[in-house]
């Protein structure tokens, strides 16, 4: 008999789903106990196999340690900040969220802001409530025949596009990981980010917040936009540089902005941006609909039942259920595979159309399928606002038309132990004789993940932190030039690795640095004679 605790208010439909499973002889007992103190939760949690929360209950490492029977924690919603995911993973507890339930709500919130900025809705409303009948000062614009630029064409971005087309808008989009064929079916033109800025009358942001996308839309981006553009952000605070947005609003470059998210939440309520007359603001209401709350409650209930029955859960944010022994064995290889996938995405010249994952060596562990899933997770991570995890990586790859080939063999490779290789082919790529092929190999060195080859060039680099990766001609002065220029900008080099196949031929250099390298510095480094290609990659911890 499995026992499930619901410790936060949950839509009655979710409770009903759990109780229906219990009545159907699923071996399930459900208890609803909300408003628990930390001490009360710690006292009773050892009795339960499943836990459903919203944002109120704090599932700390201490709670997880006390939950000796716990197998799954479900968050009825998207964010899992109130759950110690690493602690849960360490204990083999599955953590799931429910992102699909919020898709329509988030889409409609963004579109609401778009309409409100077009017709100066809130300004007119506030003026009328203030006792004034004003019409002339609230002249708006129509959506029909305007161009909407969508930054990030995931689930929410796609739903936005459908609604915009119904209003007679031309839709263009930028998402480096969406294949043109997918967009073409939807009647969407894929363009460069600079074209989004140049062509759009309205811009809506639906990208994930990553080191690479933080403050992506700032002063330089605003300067490229049409005068009178309207911009919407109902995705993640921090993608738009708020001070630069305020300046663009004050100058008239941006006619209006609609914001549901902010870099710091709650923001300072007296902040000039929030008080600006041409800004429509809402307090992060993207998921705040009755329907969304029902959907996330039902999804959370279904996920708990599936996990307790030993099934793979589509929205697991950590790992599928594994024994502690298997998890211990796989953990460093999972980290390695995921980082190789992230590296492959970062260094691709265009949308990836095919990925081959090879696990090779006498030390081949069980569950090698998960290593392929981890590589796909890394490959797709950050390509949209959707959560990508071990369980849903394969289905997301299929949705995008990505061809995946996985191979496992105990034949010994060049390195002792297990080697994981990720080979990608990108559309329009320039590597490997213009075929767009790139290969990344990794293994464990003294038990720690290491990148050991890039396109056949031998290296040995820890796949963590900030990396500058160049392809250049093996000639005197390049390494010194890179070091000097980084030093001039106060960027410290943590380590440097160079791999070559022959003297005077092509070589690969990987520079690990302590700080984010701005685009203008990357551009300057790319101009060093002999440097053919240079990329900045953030691989995290």
Q: Where are the domains of the chain?
A: 2-99+291-320, 121-277, 322-463, 465-541
CB contact set of 311 (below 8 Å; sequence gap of 6+) = none
Q: What whole-number percentage of the chain has pLDDT above 90?
A: 61
Q: Pairing relation of β-strands 72-75 and 50-53?
A: parallel
* Confidence class for position 431, pLDDT limits 50, 70, 90: very low
CB contact set of 446 (below 8 Å; sequence gap of 6+) = none
- Are 435 and 425 contacting, i.e. CB atoms less than 8 angstroms apart? yes
CA atoms within 13 A on the CB side of 358: 17
Q: Can you tell me whether residue 43 is helix, strand or coil? A: helix
Q: What whole-number percentage of the chain has pLDDT above 70?
A: 93
Whether residue 119 is predicted with pLDDT greater than 80 in this model: the reply is: yes
* pLDDT tens readout for residues 302-359: 999 988 987 767 788 886 545 556 667 778 888 999 999 999 988 887 788 899 999 8
Peptide bond into 266 cis (omega under 30): yes
pLDDT at 363: 63
Name the pTM for this structure: 0.69
* Confidence class for position 395, pLDDT limits 50, 70, 90: confident
CB contact set of 67 (below 8 Å; sequence gap of 6+) = 45, 46, 48, 51, 91, 93
Q: Do domains 2-99+291-320 and 121-277 have the same CATH topology?
A: yes
For 336, phi then psi, to 5°, come to: -60, -50
- Are 279 and 256 contacting, i.e. CB atoms less than 8 angstroms apart? yes
Q: Cα–Cα distance between 383 and 430 in angstroms, integer?
A: 21
Task: Of 85, 52, 51, give the one whose Cα is nearest residue 68.
Answer: 51
Count CB atoms within 10 A of the CB of residue 527: 10
Give me the mean pLDDT over the 168-192 stretch: 92
Q: How far is CA 215 from CA 178, 218, 237, 364, in A?
A: 22, 6, 9, 42
CATH number of 2-99+291-320: 3.40.50.720
CATH number of 322-463: 3.30.1330.90
Architecture field, domain 121-277: 3-Layer(aba) Sandwich (3.40)
* pLDDT tens readout for residues 274-305: 999 999 999 999 989 999 999 999 999 999 99
Sheet holding 457-461, edge to edge: 403-409, 352-360, 419-426, 437-445, 448-454, 457-461
Q: Cα–Cα distance between 183 and 107 in angstroms, integer?
A: 18
Span between the terminal Cα atoms of the chain, in Å: 39
Whether residue 434 is predicted with pLDDT greater than 50 in this model: the reply is: no
The residues assigned a catalytic role are 236, 265, 284
Give me the mean pLDDT over the 152-169 stretch: 95
Residue 534: which H helix or E strand, with range? strand 531-538
- Are 18 and 63 contacting, i.e. CB atoms less than 8 angstroms apart? no
CATH number of 465-541: 3.30.70.260
């Amino acid at each position: 008999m499995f026992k499930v605790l619901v410790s936060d208010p949950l839509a009655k439909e979710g409770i009903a789903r759990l109780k229906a499973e219990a009545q159907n002889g699923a071996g399930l007992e459900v208890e609803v106990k909300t408003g628990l103190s930390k001490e009360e939760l710690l006292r009773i949690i050892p009795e339960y196999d499943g836990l459903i929360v919203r944002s109120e209950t704090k599932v700390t490492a201490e709670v997880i340690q006390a939950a000796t029977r716990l197998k799954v924690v479900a968050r009825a919603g998207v964010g899992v900040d109130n759950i110690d995911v690493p602690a849960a993973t360490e204990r083999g507890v599955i953590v799931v969220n429910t992102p699909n339930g919020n898709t329509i709500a988030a889409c409609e919130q963004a579109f609401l802001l778009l309409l409100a900025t077009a017709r100066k809705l809130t300004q007119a409303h506030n003026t009328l409530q203030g006792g004034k009948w004003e019409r002339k000062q609230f002249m708006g614009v129509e959506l029909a025949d305007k161009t909407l630029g969508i930054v990030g064409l995931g689930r929410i971005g796609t739903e936005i596009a459908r609604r915009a087309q119904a209003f007679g808008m031309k839709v263009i989009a930028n998402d480096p990981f969406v294949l043109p064929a997918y967009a073409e079916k939807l009647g969407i033109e894929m363009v460069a980010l600079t074209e989004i800025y140049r062509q759009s009358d309205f811009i809506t942001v639906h990208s994930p917040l990553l080191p690479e996308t933080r403050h992506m839309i700032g002063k330089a981006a605003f300067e490229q936009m049409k005068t009178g553009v309207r911009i919407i952000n109902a995705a993640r605070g921090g993608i738009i540089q708020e001070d630069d947005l305020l300046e663009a609003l004050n100058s008239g470059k941006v006619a209006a902005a609609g914001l549901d998210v902010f870099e710091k939440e709650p923001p300072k309520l007296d902040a000039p941006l929030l008080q600006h007359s041409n800004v429509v603001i809402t307090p992060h209401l993207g998921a705040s609909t009755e329907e969304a709350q029902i959907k996330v409650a039902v999804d959370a209930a279904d996920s708990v039942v599936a996990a307790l029955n030993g099934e793979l859960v589509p929205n697991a944010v950590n790992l599928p259920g594994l024994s502690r022994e298997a998890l211990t064995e796989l953990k460093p290889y999972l980290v390695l595979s995921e980082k190789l996938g992230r590296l492959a995405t970062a260094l691709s010249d265009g949308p990836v159309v095919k990925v081959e994952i090879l696990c090779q060596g006498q030390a081949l562990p069980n569950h090698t399928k998960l290593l392929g899933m981890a590589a796909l997770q890394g490959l797709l991570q950050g390509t949209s606002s959707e959560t990508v995890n071990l369980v849903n990586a394969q289905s997301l790859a299929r949705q995008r038309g990505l061809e995946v080939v996985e191979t496992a063999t105990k034949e010994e490779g060049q390195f002792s132990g297990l080697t994981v290789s990720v080979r990608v082919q990108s559309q329009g790529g320039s590597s490997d004789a213009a075929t767009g092929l790139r290969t990344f190999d990794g293994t464990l060195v003294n038990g720690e993940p290491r990148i050991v080859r890039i396109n056949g060039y031998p290296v040995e680099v820890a796949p963590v932190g900030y990396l500058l990766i160049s392809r250049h001609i093996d000639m005197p002065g390049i390494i010194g030039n890179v070091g000097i220029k980084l030093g001039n900008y106060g960027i410290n080099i943590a380590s440097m690795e160079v791999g070559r196949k022959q003297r005077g031929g092509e070589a690969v250099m990987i520079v690990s640095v302590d700080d984010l390298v701005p685009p203008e510095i990357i551009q300057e480094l790319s101009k060093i004679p002999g440097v053919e290609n240079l990329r900045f990659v953030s691989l995290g911890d």
